[in-house]
Amino acid sequence: MRRRYAAEGLRLAAVVAAYYVTGKVGLQQELVRGQVTPFWPPTGIALVVLLLWGLRMWPAVALGAFLVNVTLGPSVLPVLAITAGNTLAPVFACLLLRRVGFRIALDRLQDALALVFLGALIGMVVSATVGTGVLVASGALTGPDFWPTWSVWWTGDAMGVLVVAPLLLTAREARWPRGVPALRWAEAMALLSGTAAVSVVATHTSINLLFLVVPFLIWAAFRFQLAGAAPCVLIASVITILAGARGSGPFSGHDLLAQMVILQAFNGTVSLTALLLSAVIAERNHTLNEIERVCERLTEALTRLAPEETLDHWPPPRTTGRASRKGQRP
């Protein structure tokens, strides 16, 4: 019991530390009042923790959210309300995913769709609405600032789920590959570096070239499934989020709300493309493996039913008509 309690305490502390550290990293790109950012990694961490270890981990999520927000204000009561919203959002998303039978392996098409639409786009409405409403109610923001701030808040939380959650779920079962050809490693490095290079070029030109990232995601999904698609989504999304925070490239000349719409549309598209293709290919591979196993079991069953001698001499030798007539009874 002591060991179990100690392990549980360490797990809770690790979640709090991860939430706090990644929250501080996300705040480096804040756009509104020093605390609203277009990329909030803690939401992805919180959702994965709740999916893997259960809803009993919500106190760790709440404590991490409180520690991040307590230094940002505006006062203690609004901070507590914001903390409640940051905690309820991943809990709500977790309950929605459980409701539809979500599997953390992300090897089915329905799991990818559920994570994108239920876990990210719908689940994170809770934190964005509560947090923005609290800032407006406390006087930290004016009424006209509600929707631009809400869009940034929702984008940041949704991006935390779409970018971080698949990466963590993939890393959970990742093992260092052995016996992989050097050409395969070269292909993986070319895929990652190509995704980064295209993302940098697309976000530093006034021409809208963000669609050039999609072929690399398709390449990653077909060749490496989620293990390759998730890092590519992370690279492309982070580079695009940095450009959106600076207002450069395709984000220049737009107001805050329009920038968040462009950013959310891009990140949602790349995440959905990568997850759906990876899930479809995983389902196809699973079906092929099942067919191979069924064929092997069928071969074993036929071998047990028919003796080896019969199989070795099949088909039986043909006899002449005279011999066959001699063998007949009168």
Residues in CB range of 221: below 8 A, 6 or more apart? 228, 229, 273, 274, 277, 278, 281
Q: Region 77-90: what's the mean pLDDT?
A: 93
Model confidence at 153: pLDDT above 80: yes
pLDDT of residue 129: 93
pLDDT, tens digit, for every residue of 95-109?
999 999 998 888 788
Distance, CA of 159 to chain centre: 10
DSSP 313-329: TPSPPP--HHHHHHTS-
pLDDT, tens digit, for every residue of 109-128?
888 889 989 999 899 999 99
Q: Which of 160, 258, 239 lies closest to 196, judged by CA?
A: 239
Q: Which of 193, 217, 211 lies closest to 281, judged by CA?
A: 217
pLDDT, tens digit, for every residue of 292-309?
888 988 888 888 886 554
**Domain extents for the chain?**
2-173+181-292
Place of tokens 């991040």: 68
pLDDT, tens digit, for every residue of 250-292?
888 777 778 878 887 888 888 888 888 888 888 888 888 889 8
Model confidence at 59: pLDDT above 90: yes
Could you give the CA distance from residue 78 to residue 81 in angstroms, rounded to a whole number? 5
Cβ 107 vs Cβ 285: under 8 Å: no
pTM metric for this prediction: 0.79
CB atoms within 10 A of CB 16: 19
Cβ 211 vs Cβ 251: under 8 Å: no
pLDDT of residue 268: 80
